């Protein structure tokens, strides 16, 4: 049985391990070989994510199996860019910062359950939309989000100089 609960420090090291697993996966599928995993990534990136969550009405939801973290979803309220109120009708927008399921547990609806928990939370604090950045070569993630009702709204393109 999978249990979904809010983050607490008891799970800090397991959350760090999942962040490293995601970064390693992104580095593996990065066709341009830009993504990497640098020294101190585990500590520093966890602190970056955790602080961004705390500062922006965010939450981290964990998926637990037998008291072990097998997935997480970090969500927050996205900061509104300068001039936003002149060009948008969306007053408050949520953002999925990270959604990670450990590799051996993917394909078991855990991601959908975590996504739903984040959506419920963001809706409860009056967000009207949710943004998610999907790494360009992560076709599996893109299909997952589209299956869960998300659609492509913008493209971010890159060119090596």
Domain membership of residue 7 (yes or no) is: yes
Q: How far is residue 153 CA from its own chain's centroid?
A: 18
Q: What pLDDT score was predicted for residue 87? A: 60
Domain membership of residue 161 (yes or no) is: no
Separation in Å, CA 100 to CA 50, 82, 91, 124, 134:
15, 31, 28, 23, 12
pLDDT tens for each residue of the chain, 161 residues long: 899 999 999 999 999 999 998 888 888 888 888 887 777 888 998 999 999 999 999 999 999 999 999 999 999 998 765 455 556 666 788 999 999 999 999 999 999 999 999 999 999 999 989 999 998 888 999 999 999 999 998 888 888 89
Domain membership of residue 82 (yes or no) is: yes
Residue 75 contacts residue 105 (beta carbons within 8 Å): no
Q: What pLDDT score was predicted for residue 68? A: 95
Q: What pLDDT score was predicted for residue 63? A: 97
Domain membership of residue 160 (yes or no) is: no
User: The domain containing residue 129 runs over which residues?
Assistant: 2-147
Domain membership of residue 36 (yes or no) is: yes
Domain membership of residue 155 (yes or no) is: no
Domain membership of residue 153 (yes or no) is: no
Domain membership of residue 154 (yes or no) is: no
| CATH code where residue 91 lies | 3.40.630.30
Provide the number of structural domains found in the chain: 1
Q: What pLDDT score was predicted for residue 32? A: 85
């Amino acid at each position: 049985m999978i249990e979904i609960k809010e983050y607490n420090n008891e799970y800090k090291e397991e959350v760090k391990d999942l962040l490293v697993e995601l970064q390693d996966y992104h580095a593996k599928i990065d066709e341009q070989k830009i993504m990497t995993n640098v020294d101190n990534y585990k500590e520093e990136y966890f602190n970056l994510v955790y602080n961004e969550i705390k500062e922006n009405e965010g939450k981290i939801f964990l998926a637990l199996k037998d008291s072990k973290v097998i997935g997480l979803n970090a969500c927050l309220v996205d900061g509104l860019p300068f001039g936003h109120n002149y060009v948008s009708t969306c007053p408050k927008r949520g953002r999925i910062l990270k959604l990670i399921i450990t590799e051996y547990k993917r394909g078991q609806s855990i991601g959908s359950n975590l996504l739903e928990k984040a959506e419920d939370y963001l809706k409860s604090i009056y967000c009207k939309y949710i943004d998610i950045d999907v790494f360009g070569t992560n076709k599996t993630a893109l299909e997952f989000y589209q299956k869960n009702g998300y659609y492509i709204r913008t493209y971010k393109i890159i060119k090596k100089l």
